[in-house]
Amino acid sequence: MLGVQFLEAVRQVTDRIAANPKAFRIVAEDVRRANLPRRWPYALWYVIVEPDSVVIAALHHRRDPRLGPGRKPG
């Protein structure tokens, strides 16, 4: 049940991104971040590739943002 609720939260955020991709702030170069509802400490990181938006990562808020999606520490 909890997993279904999480997926619904992700779906709601992806719908918001699709409706207005430029509504969320830029966090690195052309990468934007859309937070999930407060209950879930995650954010979707995405880029706008006209005419679409492409989610490149779903990161926990405690993850070091300097690592960025796909980067390894060290």
Residue 16 lies in a domain: yes
Domain hosting residue 32, numbered range: 2-60
Residue 68 lies in a domain: no
Whether residue 65 lies inside any domain: the answer is no
Does residue 13 lie within any of the structural domains? Answer: yes
The number of domains in the chain is: 1
Say if CB 31 and CB 69 are below 8 A apart: yes
For residue 40, being part of any structural domain is answered with: yes
What's residue 74's pLDDT? 43
Verdict on whether the full-model pTM lies above 0.75: yes
pLDDT along the chain (74 residues), means of 10: 94 96 92 93 94 91 62 47
In a domain, residue 72? The reply is: no
DSSP characters for 3-70?
A: HHHHHHHHHHHHHHHHH-GGGSPEEETTEEEEEPPTTS-EEEEEEEETTEEEEEEEEETTS-TTT-TT
